[in-house]
């Protein structure tokens, strides 16, 4: 069924786990970590709700956090290609740990590559 979303295919629990694994990697990466607040839990929750929505699930993220574009929400951090690489590597490690169907992880990775490139705001 081509109308099935990633959310339909992997479910909420896996999207929660992906966010958790991602922030475990952030905590291990000094360059990335310095951008984030000490307590990573709210950020983890926001990423979870955002991805739930992006991948076809409930729109709780927009209801709670409003509608500014994601790129605008990142304007206060200097995000260059190196920082993009740190973010992408953390997400790659997280995605590997998730053990989903390779077709699904490929679709997710395609989305993350585009989104992360789009977040670059500094040469
Ligand atoms: C928030 C960094 C890319 C989704 C944040 C925060 C930082 C950050 C420092 C603030 C966390 C907090 O204080 O709560 C970066 C860097 C990126 C990047 C360095 C490099 C490319 C992305 C991408 C996505 C994403 C590709 C989604 C696919 C989010 C979301 C939030 C967030 C949903 C929470 C925004 C809110 O509702 O307040 N990011 N990010 N980020 N990021 Fe990123």
pLDDT at 63: 97
Q: For the domain that residue 92 is a member of, what is the CATH number?
A: 1.10.490.10
Q: Is the CB of 68 under 6 A from ligand 1?
A: no
Residue 40 dihedral angles phi and psi, to the nearest 5°: -85, -5
Asked whether residue 123 is assigned to any structural domain, the reply reads no
Q: Is 22 in the pocket of ligand 1 (CB under 6 A)?
A: no
Question: What does each C-alpha distance from 50 to 2, 30, 96 come to in angstroms?
Answer: 23, 24, 20
Q: What is the mean pLDDT of residues 56-71?
A: 97
- Checking if the pLDDT of 91 tops 70, the result is yes
In a domain, 26, yes or no: yes
3: in domain: no
pTM above 0.90, yes or no: yes
Q: Is residue 73 part of a domain?
A: yes
Ligand 1 center from residue 8 Cα (angstroms): 24
Q: With 70 as the cut, is the pLDDT of residue 9 above it?
A: yes
Tokens describing residue 74: 């990142």
How far, in whole angstroms, is CA 105 from its chain's centroid? 13
Residue 1 has pLDDT above 90, yes or no: no
Task: Classify residue 52: in a domain, yes or no.
Answer: yes
44 pLDDT more than 60 = yes
Expressed in angstroms and rounded, the spacing between residue 1 Cα and the centre of ligand 1 is 32
Domain housing 23: 8-118
State how many domains the chain has: 1
Q: Is 113 in the pocket of ligand 1 (CB under 6 A)?
A: no
């Amino acid at each position: 069924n081509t109308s099935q979303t990633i959310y339909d295919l992997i479910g909420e629990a896996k999207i929660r786990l992906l966010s958790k694994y991602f922030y475990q990697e952030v905590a291990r990466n000094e360059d990335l970590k310095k951008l984030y607040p000490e307590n990573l839990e709210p950020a983890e929750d926001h990423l979870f709700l955002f991805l739930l929505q992006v991948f076809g699930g409930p729109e709780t993220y927009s209801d709670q956090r409003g509608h500014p574009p994601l790129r605008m929400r990142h304007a206060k951090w200097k995000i260059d290609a190196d920082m993009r690489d740190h973010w992408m590597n953390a997400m790659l490690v997280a995605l590997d740990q998730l053990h989903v169907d390779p077709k699904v992880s490929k679709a997710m990775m395609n989305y993350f590559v585009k989104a992360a490139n789009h977040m670059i705001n500094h040469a």
